[in-house]
Structure 1
Amino acid sequence: MNSFPWGGIKMKKQLVLWVFVAVLAFAVCAAAAEKIYFGDVGQNKIRRCTLTGSSIEELVTTGLDAVGSIAIDRAGGYMYWADWGTSSITRAKLDGTNIFTLVNGLSGPYGVALDIPGDRLYWTEFSSNKIRRCSLAGASLEDLVTTGLNHPNGIALDLDGGKMYWTMGALTGTIKRADLDGTNVETLVTAGLSAPMEIVLDLDGGKMYWTDLATHKVQRANLDGTSVQDLVTTGLDLAVGIDLDVDAGYIYFSDSG
């Protein structure tokens, strides 16, 4: 099993839930029928519930070791997840059936993001310090970024802008972005970061939001990294996951402590 301190969340559709869980990791996605999908590393399960946290269902209960991010293909009816314990990326139907391993033999896969129109799946690998992609069927694997990385964690895509954003670092944190092919890497934020985890984009608002597990904060900045703001600085133990309900004006995040 690859060594990694914590897990994180990833969501679809800008519908989110504020959750505190006594497990090692928490991975969330809002998807069809307004469900939240989450990975529980402590119990090695993928579950789902309503947006209010009720009606919890167990979807995947075998074959898991350390689930990282989960990404949802709402239209296609699939969920995708990284598992750094099994060194693989896997796909299943939203009800947990038809489980299929897309890529294995990886080195610490954690963050995942989907480009459905482009038929691409992007992910980070914290042990090999790489960002990679493949087709949604697991073919045509490409290394996109292989230098200048130190423990990459969360990843988010701006498909219209042709950019990917990622967090990295376990003690000294950084947020970077690059073109979707891995070129033109830019450093956006370094000051004040320690262990930034998940990242989400508000493209219409021109903002990126992230959690920092070590500084116990939720923060945001402009998409170019300027104007960093502390949003939540108290009451957090191990902030990991984050997403937005832009229409309602809410930030939702998980705390794995």
Structure 2
Amino acid sequence: MAPPPPAAPVGRLYFLDVGISTPELNGRLVTCLPDGSDLNELVSQIRTMPDGIAVDTVHQHIYWTNMGIPSSNDGSIQRCDFFGKDIVTIVPKGYTHTPKQLIVAADSQKLYWSDREGTRVMRANMDGSDIEVLYRAGTTDLDKQDLGNWCVGIAVDENSKEIYWSQKGPSKGNKGRIFRMGLDMIPGESAEHRTDVQCILDNLPEPIDLELDSVSGTLYWTDRGDPPYGNTVNSISLADLQKGRLQPKILVRKLHEGIGIALDRTNNRLFFGDLGGSLYTSNLDGTCKGTILSDTGGAITGVAYAEVSQ
């Protein structure tokens, strides 16, 4: 008798609770189905303020960043398997200051992340080796105190060989920006002096995490600034950038300190969460917004979606 065919991959959400809802900083890595069912806590008692999350479906690993104590320059990156076991520190303390959003670049098998107080965009191999600084917004202590230099969100397009990232600016300050540059350094240039860095949007309330649909050429992001333009999910068509008439669209309003965002291209939907502890979904155009989990018991930072084998 022939063996049964392998089960079709199932879409799952993975998200982080930064842990600030409890005095002892009980950060968590949690997963559920897109309708909120089968809710499981994979890792708990994370004392290092987890923020960015990414899933490697090929090797069945979940990666996350730990902000640590920002004044201590003790950020790190860890990973576990799909069951929350075999936790390994990939980037140890001392190599990245305050790592935020994290991306797995599947083709090159690289990790990319933004480093907030480090004012950097960084990458490394999947095992944490060959750490590189691709961009540095500031080098002096004064530069690093300037919130306009703080890098937070990140998205990577390996087809066009471009990186997008956000620099959030002061809290609710309407000085946030989104940038792009080439995937690789131009020969002879440095992270501090790159001629291919372009600011594509400015004067945003407080842009945070990014998500890129390279097929449609659409960039999505969350913004935790003040209403009416903040605490929103937004998008731009990158084709309009070439035409010189870039116009952001507000897709969803009324988030409560929106941060994490994830894209499900197969089913044309977005997932996003906020520090208020809720997890949401909508169509790609922002319609049919729904609440997946109204109160996770914590404060959601990073959100990821992946189709995984059961």
Residue in 2 that maps onto 1:228: 248
Letter in 1 for 2:97: S
CA shift, 1:47, in A, is: 1.3
For 1:248 and 1:101, locate their aligned partners in 2 and report how far apart those are by CA, in whole Å.
Answer: 33
Closer, same or farther: CA 190–251 of 1 in aligned 2, 3 Å: same
| 1:45 and 2:28 matched | yes
Structure 1 residue aligned with 2:120: 130
TM-score with structure 2 setting the length: 0.68
Q: 1:75 to 1:165 in 2, by over 3 A?
A: same
Determine the structure 2 residue equivalent to 1:7. none
Q: Which moved more, 1:155-164 or 1:236-245?
A: 236-245
Deviation at 1:208, TM superposition (A): 0.6
Q: Does 1:96 align with 2:84?
A: yes
**Which whole-Å CA distance do the structure 2 matches of 1:218 and 1:51 have between them?**
18
Question: Structure 1's 37 and 175: CA in aligned 2 closer, same or farther, altered over 3 A?
Answer: same
d(CA) in 2 for partners of 1:128, 1:93: 28
Query: Which of 176, 180, 188 is equivalent to 1:177?
Result: 180
Q: Quick one: distance in 2 between partners of 1:252 and 1:117?
A: 24
Of structures 1 and 2, the larger Rg is shown by 2
**Residue identity (%):** 30
TM-superposed CA distance for 1:247, in Å, is 4.4
> Corresponding residue for 2:111?
121
In the TM superposition, what are the counterparts of 1:176-215 in structure 2 within 5 Å?
176-182=179-185, 183=194, 184-191=196-203, 193-214=204-225, 215=230
More helix by share: 2
Question: Given residue 78 of structure 2, which amino acid in structure 1 is its aligned partner?
Answer: T
Q: Could you tell me whether the CA contact under 8 Å between 2:67 and 2:75 is conserved in 1?
A: yes
Distance apart, 1:237 and its partner CA: 2.2
CA shift in 2, pair 1:59/1:177, >3 Å: same
| TM-score in terms of structure 1 length | 0.81
Q: Distance in 1 between matches of 2:29 and 2:41?
A: 6
Q: Matched residues in 2 for 1:107 and 1:144: separation? A: 15
Gaps of 5+ in 2: 1-8, 20-25, 69-73, 139-147, 186-193, 277-310
Distance 2:271 2:29 in 1: 20
Following superposition, the deviation at residue 63 of structure 1 comes to 4.3
* Separation of aligned partners in 1, 2:151 and 2:75: 15
Q: Secondary structure at the match of 2:152?
A: strand
Identify the range of structure 1 (110-119 vs 193-202) with the bigger mean alpha-carbon deviation. 110-119
Q: Which residue of 2 aligns with 1:109?
A: 99
Report whether the alignment pairs 1:250 with 2:269.
yes
**5+ residue gaps, structure 1:** 1-31
- Report the Cα distance in structure 1 between the residues aligned to 2:220 and 2:165, rounded to whole angstroms: 11
- The 3 A distance-change label for structure 1 pair 55 and 151 is same
CA contact (8 A) 1:174 1:190 kept: yes
Which letter does structure 2 place at the counterpart of 1:75?
V
2:52 pairs with 1:69: yes
Q: Which of 3, 7, 10 is 1:33 aligned to?
A: 10
Please tell me whether the aligned partners of residues 45 and 64 of structure 1 are also in contact (alpha carbons under 8 angstroms): no
Report what 1:20 is aligned to.
none
